[in-house]
Amino acid sequence: MTLMKLTLRIWRQKNARTEGQFVTYQLDNVSEHMSFLEMLDVLNEGLVAKGEEPVAFDHDCREGICGACSLMINGYPHGPLPKTTTCQLHMRHFKDGDVITVEPWRARAFPVIKDCVTDRSAFDRIMQAGGFISVRTGGTPDANALPIRKRSADLSMDAAACIGCGACVAACKNASAMLFVAAKVGQFAHLPQGQVERKERVKAMIGRMDVEGFGNCTNTYDCEGACPKQIPRRFINEMNRDFIWAALTE
Amino acid sequence: MRWLMNVLTSSIGAKALMAATGLILVLFLVGHMVGNLQLFGGPDMLNGYAEFLHSKPLVLWVVRLGMIAAVLLHILSSIRLTLLNNRARPTAYKLKRPISSTFASRNMFLTGLVVAAFVTYHLLHFTFRATHPAFATLKDAHGRFDVYSMVVQSFSDPLIAGAYIVALVLLGLHLWHAIGSTFQSLGLMSPKLQPIVSAMSLALAGLLVLGNVAMPIAVLLGLVARTQGVTLP
Ligand code: HEM
Ligand code: SF4
Ligand code: FES
């Protein structure tokens, strides 16, 4: 097992109202088998032992499915490894002597609460605006009672893979939430249950997205590259089409 | 009207406006280039073409007014969007690396600004002839306004030719991202189309740059015959 010495430059900020700054920490004996978050756990144990405030960061499932973990690591959302959340990023992708810069997501719509924790409730409010189906679907239907083409079911599932982590916003030069919203619109747009409110949904969710202060898409696609769930840009295209169609047929 | 404003100020509506106006500008650029390449056909051809355009004032002015509207909407919308986008990230990252974006796609406003400055100069130069008032007196053998001599004499100055070449390359950068981007903004893209549109975007942008820089470069290299006319100060 290789042990590494690392230098960490981590964003520390007491709360939403104070200014933050980078603080440098040295860590010896980092195992290559640790996840990035376990490495931060070790750092925090050391800080607590010294009577210092541990570094706050978001995490929950630690298995790449909940979307809680975040962190801008060396200039990449969720770190330099593609298709991987921070909790699934392992220290073997770093090497002895590395300097690692760790920052929170930066966006007006994601204000920092503490250290590297941001308030991502703007995403929840976008979901509340239209990320649901309000037609009565009854009890659990029999399998195949409502025929759905395999292709449509697959596309809907592809969109539904979005875990709402916000890496797309973090990666975008405009802090645009288009990939997230496109995934959440797209998961319904390909299913029959999603058709009734299709136009209202896209207008309401985009309206909320704009109100929350996210930027506008300029089709640079850093979101797609940063997304741990590989949500493809096609959903942004489809959402654009749906929105334009909804506006024209109003 | 209110409905239209709401749509055009929404994030997606504003992008659709950028795309639609941008598309009009691209179509104009194609026509503009094809027309101007008649420079290589000699003075008779180019001056005849210029006279033909001016003999249709109605068409000319409809096109001009359409272009002015498209340019104004495109620029105003781009300024508004760029301000909004900058405001969306008030605190910059200490370290931020591009992933799937290109230099062209990240610098659209910058290349756009250069294009705006260039278009302004270009109009002052060839349309209003404010930079060289002496051009106004140029007449060819048929008594027509001598566009050919104006162009050839202008581009004989390496400074002017160089400015055109640099600006056109930056316009090419703008178009490389823009042409493909238009499809996505209007919801006309698809995974199958994506590689085709990308290739077409590069090809058309490349063609527009090459076709246009061919004129100053050919003049600089002395490949285009000079005619009589005023000498530049
Ligand atoms: C010959 C002149 C121009 C042409 C042909 C042109 C064409 C285009 C096209 C087709 C788009 C793509 C729209 C889309 O992404 O859907 C675009 C985007 C854009 N243009 Fe222009 N444009 C021109 C001049 C300008 C000028 C003068 C400015 C600003 C001062 C400008 C700024 C922008 C910006 C900021 C974008 C959006 C960037 C993006 O979405 O990535 N453009 N342009
Ligand atoms: S689209 Fe991808 S990057 Fe964006 S919130 Fe969903 S999972 Fe995260
Ligand atoms: S902690 Fe749940 S996805 Fe990383």
pTM: 0.94
Please state, in angstroms and as integers, the Cα–Cα distance from residue A186 to each residue in A43, A203, A214, B124, following that order. 40, 13, 19, 49
State the pLDDT at residue B233. Answer: 42
Task: Name the minimum distance, in Å, from the CA of A219 to any CA of chain B.
Answer: 6
Amino acid residing at A21: Q
- Find residues 6-25 of chain A whose CB sits inside 8 Å of chain B: 9, 11, 22
* Secondary structure (DSSP) of B139-180: B-TTSSB-HHHHHHHHHTSHHHHHHHHHHHHHHHHHHHHHHH
B230 band by pLDDT with thresholds 50, 70 and 90: very low
CATH of residue B26: 1.20.1300.10
Interface touch A232/B93, C-beta < 8 Å: no
Count chain A–chain B contacts defined by CB atoms under 8 A.
141
Residue of B nearest to A109 (CA): B88
Interface touch B88/A221, C-beta < 8 Å: no
Identify the three-state secondary structure at position A243: helix
CATH architecture of the domain formed by A121-249: Orthogonal Bundle (1.10)
Nearest bound ligand to the CA of residue A107: 2
Q: Cα separation of A60 and B135, whole Å?
A: 73
In this predicted structure, the answer to whether residue B229 has a pLDDT above a threshold of 60 is: no
State the pLDDT at residue B228. Answer: 58
For the stretch B68-78, pLDDT in tens is 999 999 999 99
State the pLDDT at residue A140. Answer: 84
Q: Cα separation of B25 and A100, whole Å?
A: 45
Query: Which residues of chain A are in CATH 3.10.20.30 domains?
Result: 3-103
In this predicted structure, the answer to whether residue B62 has a pLDDT above a threshold of 70 is: yes
Residue A170 in contact with residue A72, Cβ under 8 Å? Answer: yes
Q: Judge whether B77 lies within some domain.
A: yes
**Enclosing domain of residue B167:** 9-87+102-220
* Ligand 1 atom having least distance to the Cα of B105: 41
In this predicted structure, the answer to whether residue B232 has a pLDDT above a threshold of 50 is: no
Residue A94 in contact with residue A79, Cβ under 8 Å? Answer: no
In this predicted structure, the answer to whether residue B139 has a pLDDT above a threshold of 90 is: no
For the stretch B171-228, pLDDT in tens is 999 999 999 999 999 999 999 999 999 999 999 999 999 999 999 999 999 998 877 5
Number of domains present in the structure of chain B: 1
CB of B110 less than 8 A from some CB of A: no
Whole-number average pLDDT of chain B: 93
Pocket of ligand 3 (CB under 6 A): A 59-62, 64-69, 85-87, 163
In this predicted structure, the answer to whether residue B31 has a pLDDT above a threshold of 90 is: yes
Tell me the pairing of strands A117-118 and A3-12.
unpaired
Could you tell me the fold of the domain covering A3-103?
Ubiquitin-like (UB roll) (3.10.20)
* Ligand 2 atom having least distance to the Cα of A164: 5
State the pLDDT at residue A219. Answer: 97
Q: Judge whether B4 lies within some domain.
A: no
Q: What integer is the mean pLDDT of B156-168?
A: 96
Residue A55 φ/ψ, nearest 5 degrees: -75, 125
State the pLDDT at residue B231. Answer: 46
Q: Judge whether B33 lies within some domain.
A: yes
Angle at B233 between CA B120 and CA B144, to 5 degrees: 70
In this predicted structure, the answer to whether residue B98 has a pLDDT above a threshold of 90 is: yes
> Mean pLDDT of successive 10-residue segments in chain A (250 residues)?
92 96 96 97 97 98 97 98 97 96 98 98 98 84 86 97 98 98 97 94 97 97 98 98 94
Query: Which residues of chain A are in CATH 1.10.1060.10 domains?
Result: 121-249
ipTM above 0.90, yes or no: yes
Q: Judge whether B15 lies within some domain.
A: yes
Task: Name the minimum distance, in Å, from the CA of B76 to any CA of chain A.
Answer: 15
